[in-house]
Amino acid sequence: MIGARSFEPEEAALLAALGVRVYPMREIARRGLEKVLDEALARVRRGTLGYGVTQDLDAIDPADAPGVTTPVPRGLRAAALIPALDALVREAPPLAVEIAEYDPHRDTGGMTAQLVEQAAAALLGAGVLRTPLAIALERRHSAANYAPLPVVLVRGEGAHDWDEAGRRYLDCMSAYSPVSLGHTHPRILRALTPQAGRLAVTSRGCAG
């Protein structure tokens, strides 16, 4: 646990009982964030096949991320965090990534949303994938009514999607149009393929 600054007594007792290594801000200030991340990576990789990252936005200083559920001063600074995450992913890509504790009602000027995008890009390895051109084209030519994550998906099956590097994602858009039926559902494909050969989508303005 890196950069945590406050605990409930029960939380501190549980962390101690579980043997969780906590790196407080004073240690990060003394040693540097990248060195702490290197040590943490070595610990989590010891005897395991992989690791995951949960980026709790509460760990970031409110001056850089005001839109969090529990803002606490003297946290991690964005200027050091994003390059450190990028270096971590280049050294050993995580198997899973989570970004938590975003509160849009407190996000003055969208600062935290921009930081979330930067952190997601670093954690998803956008700097080492071949996707920047696709993302740039999407931003240049597509409607700006969404704020997509910086990842390019190439296939889906059931409730999961994959990007070009083979990373798997859980698709949580379960209520979004036909995605509620899952990607590439075999029964849907069997019905869709012959129908697409006769007639595709028509407007409700005509008797299709």
Predicted confidence at residue 173, as pLDDT, reads: 77
Predicted confidence at residue 44, as pLDDT, reads: 84
* Annotated domain spans of the chain: 1-130, 152-208
Sheet containing 160-163: which strands, arranged edge to edge?
Answer: 153-157, 160-163, 168-170
Q: Output the tens digit of pLDDT for each of the chain's 208 residues.
A: 998 888 888 988 998 999 889 999 999 999 999 999 999 988 888 877 788 899 999 999 999 999 998 889 999 999 899 889 988 888 888 888 899 999 999 998 889 998 998 898 888 876 555 566 677 777 777 777 777 777 888 788 888 888 877 788 888 876 677 677 888 888 888 888 888 888 877 776 655 4
Bridge-based pairing of strands 96-100 and 153-157 is unpaired
d(CA 96, CA 63): 28
Any idea what DSSP says for residue 74? S
Work out the number of other CB atoms within 10 angstroms of the CB of residue 174: 10
**Alpha helices by DSSP H, 56-205:** 78-91, 111-123, 132-141, 186-196
* pTM value surpassing 0.75: no
d(CA 62, CA 167): 31
**1-130 placed in CATH 3.40.50.80:** no
Predicted confidence at residue 171, as pLDDT, reads: 85
d(CA 150, CA 132): 8
Predicted confidence at residue 132, as pLDDT, reads: 66
